[in-house]
Amino acid sequence: MQFVLPDLRPASAELFMLVMACVILMVDLFVKDRKRTLTYVLTQLTLVGTAFVIFMTSTGEVAYTFSNLFVDDLMGDLLKLLTCLTVLIVLFYSRGYVLDRPQLGRGEYYTLVLFATLGMMVMISANHFLTIYLGLELLSLSLYALVALNRDSVRATEAAMKYFVLGALASGLLLYGMSMIYGATGTLEITAVSDALMQGQANRSILVFGLVFLVAGIAFKLGVVPFHMWIPDVYHGAPTAITLLIASAPKLAAFAIVMRMLVSGLVVLAADWQMMLIVLSVLSMAIGNLAAIAQTNLKRMLAYSAISHMGFMLLGLVTGIVGGDARFALNAYSSAMFYVVTYVLTSAGTFGMILLLARAGFESEELEDFKGLNKRSPWFAAVMMMMMFSMAGVPFFVGFFAKFSVLQAVVAAGYLWLAIAAVLFSLIGAFYYLRVVKLMYFDQPKDLTPVTATVGNKVLMSANGLAVALLGIFPQALMSICAVALLRSL
């Protein structure tokens, strides 16, 4: 039997990151500097190098490798570029926080972040259910370890255990759903599953049964109701630097596997999975927004906010194909992609601000910690206000146009009642975002110490805030990029 070497070019970015993660792991053994400056710099250079490789190897064409287990297309390239950029920003924001906490500032932190990023990239380019599972477990196991990295914290250890147990349950549901799909179609390759369904070669009752388990597993990774129980506890219990990571880049990978599994593989069953997603979406927007109002901890508030935002994002996916009519598919899916990209940008800036205000022995995660921020630093208060306005969907910030594009797709597909429900829940959600703005501008600060930050942090935070504002004024370019990426990939 002759072994044929697969084409490595489509997966060159993943291979580069894997090699560099292993190199950094070895180099860190010899680093004596407690600040781990060399490890940090190498990690950031790895992310920049990976983004460069993705950019240079992107042809805009769909390419398969590793016996069709792996696909390289424009959607995947765009999401992987954004993932690398997001993780780079996460590490930059987290640098000061990690240095103030020696239990976090070890080499394992940086290598685990790289392996988590590699898992996301594998998920994004998966063309096989087993490849999705491989990437998902690489991401999940890295995140479990990162949440528990501060072994002296009871809260972090408890959060890691909850995350691990519920994550294992979700992985089991996902695997069982995949086995049912395999039993019905005789294949686990996503394009082959789609072909089998198109030709009517599968047992529909077994397929729908497997689909329920698949959607349940996906819902856990997205963190939507009723599979949201882990989100508030993990966001609250994990060190804020890890919460920032969990709240941002994995959302891009989760969106990718939804597109790969449901839209590319199981589009024939769209009528079935869209009804499931409608229920998940409405419940997530309702429970997420209502529960967030009662929170006094900002991280828990943002956790429930994330649940509602992922519910809103699902609206774009449920309106792609209506009654077998795919006319609105590109508009709906690109609006969902635009929504998740802008949410990740805004979420990174919000948690970045929490990290900026934190210091050794002080987490700055309670709502009261933001009282009178305008008196301590008018510019940082303005940036945080931009983030809150964007999440609330206030014109003219990028969050408004993200919501508007999704609602436009929902109305165009004929789901007027769904659009009305989404608007009502968004109005409820605006309360707790505007409460943060009220605390910053109208309450007296508990501490009048001016907010200090490095020049790099000031520049990046300012750029993040301005991006949220400018993309709200000029959203068309990013919207067009999302639409073209999906058009060339699906």
Closest Cα partner for 348 from 43, 117, 13, 83? 83
Closest Cα partner for 131 from 118, 144, 143, 145? 118
Closest Cα partner for 245 from 405, 43, 60? 43
Task: Please provide the DSSP assignment of 199-265 as one string.
Answer: TT-S-HHHHHHHHHHHHHHHHHHHT-TTS-THHHHHHHHS-HHHHHHHHSHHHHHHHHHHIIIIIII
pLDDT digits (tens, 9 = 90+) for 89-140: 999 999 888 888 877 878 889 999 999 999 999 999 999 999 999 999 999 9
pLDDT of residue 66: 87
Does residue 317 have a pLDDT over 70? yes
Inter-residue contact 20 to 115 (CB < 8 Å) = no
* Token output for 377: 């630093």
Does residue 354 have a pLDDT over 60? yes
Q: How open is the CA angle 171-300-35, to the nearest 5 degrees?
A: 85
pLDDT of residue 300: 92
| Residue 297 bridge partners (DSSP) | 366
Query: For residues 71, 15, 252 and 209, what is the CA-based torsion angle, rounded to 10 degrees?
Result: 50
* Token output for 157: 């250890």
Q: Which residue has the higher pLDDT, 485 or 205?
A: 485
Q: How open is the CA angle 248-386-473, to the nearest 5 degrees?
A: 95
Q: How distant, in Å, are the alpha carbons of 65, 168, 233, 245, 255 from that of 164?
A: 32, 6, 12, 17, 21
Average pLDDT, the chain: 89
pLDDT of residue 208: 86
What count of residues does the chain have?
490
pLDDT digits (tens, 9 = 90+) for 219-271: 988 889 888 888 999 999 899 999 999 999 999 999 999 999 998 888 888 88
Does residue 200 have a pLDDT over 90? no
Contacts of 141 (CB under 8 A, 6+ apart): none
Q: How open is the CA angle 429-346-361, to the nearest 5 degrees?
A: 95
Does residue 325 have a pLDDT over 70? no
Phi, psi of 57 (to 5 degrees): -95, -5
Say which residue the tokens 């229920």 belong to. 279
Does residue 320 have a pLDDT over 70? yes
3-class secondary-structure state, position 40 = helix
pLDDT digits (tens, 9 = 90+) for 27-64: 988 888 778 889 999 999 999 999 999 999 988 888 88
Sign, CA dihedral 211-308-226-241, equals: positive
pLDDT of residue 17: 94
Does residue 359 have a pLDDT over 80? no
Sign, CA dihedral 366-372-377-379, equals: positive
Inter-residue contact 409 to 371 (CB < 8 Å) = no
| Residue 65 bridge partners (DSSP) | 70
pLDDT digits (tens, 9 = 90+) for 133-190: 999 999 999 999 999 988 888 888 999 999 999 999 999 999 999 999 998 888 899 9
pLDDT digits (tens, 9 = 90+) for 365-421: 888 888 888 888 889 999 999 999 999 988 889 999 999 999 998 998 888 999 999
Query: How large is the C-alpha radius of gyration of the chain?
Result: 22
Say which residue the tokens 């990426």 belong to. 485
3-class secondary-structure state, position 340 = helix
Percent of the chain with pLDDT over 90: 54
223 backbone φψ class: left, alpha, beta (φ>0; ψ -120 to 50): left
Sign, CA dihedral 436-440-441-442, equals: positive
Q: How distant, in Å, are the alpha carbons of 28, 65, 119, 189, 262 from that of 185?
A: 47, 22, 27, 10, 15
* Token output for 458: 């000031």
pTM of the model: 0.94
The tally of CA atoms less than 13 A away on the side-chain side of residue 158 is 8
Tell me whether residue 124 is exposed, middle or buried, using C-beta atoms within 10 angstroms of its C-beta: 0 to 12, 13 to 18, 19 or more. buried
